[in-house]
């Protein structure tokens, strides 16, 4: 029996002809980043023709407690090694509060650990953390004073508030929805967010963080709140998307997700 080898083989197909591969490290109970990010990138594809695929590694975390958050952070390097096996171009570490719970400036250390793990595995990649993306995006928006909504219990919400403040921002007001179960956070209705946003003390604010959590759905309400209140509105998911595109050198062209992803905002240096 003859076996024919085609002239164009897998080894001869260049990486440029393939979709851009994006790696995600998410909590095991996360249900939102793997829905909101693909939807955002679908809109990017619709506008630009550039294709993207997502490849995830999961770290155990069911309840948003300090103990489980610390345990998840300890698994970051192993997750980065696993997801880098897919030869992804960017790895997004998608658990904002787990990183911020490690102390001031922790996103920088976490990003270094993940980048080193991928490089040591023979597949170097750009690295974004949702925690780092959030604060750097506020800089890109030239925002100094912000308000925010979180699903966390009040102590964790205060911790996130302090972390953002340590990066040079003034958090004028914060709402804590106090939902400790991470699956329950993913079931929160984003249609409730416009009313919650109206109740924030937004006078003097430069931007609104409508979801300071990668698990709390918000995409469906971001444009609505931005149009109604006249302030830039971001979320952990849109900030992460902005930085992934920046790492790839792709200009955002996403409709219906706020000014940040419209293409008008330049990445922070």
User: 121 among the known binding-site residues?
Assistant: no
Residue 87: count of CB within 10 angstroms of its CB = 17
In a domain, 170, yes or no: yes
Percentage of residues in the chain with pLDDT exceeding 90? Answer: 75
In a domain, 5, yes or no: no
125 and 138, same domain (yes or no): no
181 and 243, same domain (yes or no): no
Number of structural domains the chain divides into: 2
167 and 256, same domain (yes or no): no
| CB contact set of 167 (below 8 Å; sequence gap of 6+) | 105, 135, 138
In a domain, 11, yes or no: no
In a domain, 269, yes or no: no
Q: How far apart are CA 55 and CA 21, in angstroms?
A: 7
User: 30 among the known binding-site residues?
Assistant: yes
The string of DSSP codes covering 20-88 is EEEEEEEETT--SHHHHHHHHHHHHHHHH---EEEEEEEE---B--HHHHHHHHTTHHHHHHHHHTT--
88 and 120, same domain (yes or no): yes
pLDDT digits over 85-142, tens only? 999 999 999 988 888 988 999 999 999 999 999 999 999 999 999 999 999 999 999 9
161 and 192, same domain (yes or no): yes
pLDDT of residue 125: 97
User: 182 among the known binding-site residues?
Assistant: yes
Kindly state the greatest CA–CA separation across the chain.
77
**For all residues of the chain together, what is the average pLDDT?**
90
The string of DSSP codes covering 96-124 is HHHHHTT-TTHHHHHHHHHHHHHHHTT--
pLDDT digits over 209-224, tens only? 999 999 999 999 999 9
pLDDT of residue 14: 47
**79 tagged catalytic:** no
243 and 185, same domain (yes or no): no
Reported as a pLDDT band with limits 50, 70 and 90, residue 180 is confident
User: 96 among the known binding-site residues?
Assistant: yes
124 and 199, same domain (yes or no): no
What domain range is 178 assigned to?
133-235
User: 93 among the known binding-site residues?
Assistant: no
247 and 220, same domain (yes or no): no
CATH of the domain at 218: 3.40.50.12500
pLDDT of residue 65: 59
**213 tagged catalytic:** yes
Q: How far apart are CA 137 and CA 198, in angstroms?
A: 22
22 and 84, same domain (yes or no): yes
In a domain, 1, yes or no: no
Task: Say whether pLDDT at 10 is over 50.
Answer: no
In 3D space, the residue among 255, 197, 266 whose CA is nearest the CA of residue 230 turns out to be 197
111 and 163, same domain (yes or no): no
> CB-side exposure of 16: number of CA atoms within 13 Å?
0
In a domain, 10, yes or no: no
Q: Of 95, 117, 143, 160, which is the active-site residue? A: 95
Q: Of 22, 101, 208, 213, which is the active-site residue? A: 213
In a domain, 49, yes or no: yes
71 and 113, same domain (yes or no): yes
In a domain, 149, yes or no: yes
Q: How far apart are CA 53 and CA 147, in angstroms?
A: 33
């Amino acid at each position: 029996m003859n076996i024919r080898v085609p002239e164009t083989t897998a080894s001869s197909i260049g990486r440029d002809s393939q979709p851009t591969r994006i790696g995600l490290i998410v909590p095991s109970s996360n249900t939102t980043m793997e829905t909101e990010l693909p939807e955002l990138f679908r809109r990017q594809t619709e506008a630009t023709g550039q294709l993207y695929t997502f490849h995830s590694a999961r770290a155990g975390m069911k309840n948003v407690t300090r103990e489980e958050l610390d345990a998840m952070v300890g698994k970051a390097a192993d997750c980065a090694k696993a997801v880098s096996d897919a030869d992804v171009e960017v790895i997004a570490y998608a658990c904002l509060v787990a990183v911020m719970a490690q102390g001031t400036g922790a996103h920088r250390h976490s990003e270094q650990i993940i980048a080193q793990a991928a490089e040591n595995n023979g597949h170097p990649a750009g690295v974004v953390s949702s925690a780092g993306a959030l604060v750097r995006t506020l800089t890109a928006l030239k925002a100094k004073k912000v308000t925010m909504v979180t699903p966390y219990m009040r102590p964790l919400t205060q911790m996130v508030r302090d972390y953002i403040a340590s990066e040079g921002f003034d958090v004028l007001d914060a709402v804590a929805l106090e939902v400790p179960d991470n699956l329950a956070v993913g079931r929160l209705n984003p249609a409730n967010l416009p009313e919650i946003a109206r109740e924030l003390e937004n006078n003097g604010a430069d931007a609104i963080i409508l979801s300071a959590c990668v698990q709390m759905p918000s995409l469906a309400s971001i444009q609505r709140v931005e149009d109604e209140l006249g302030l830039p509105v971001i979320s952990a998911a849109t900030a992460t998307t902005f930085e992934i595109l920046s790492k790839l050198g792709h200009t955002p062209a996403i409709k219906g997700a706020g000014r940040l992803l419209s293409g008008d905002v330049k990445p922070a240096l």
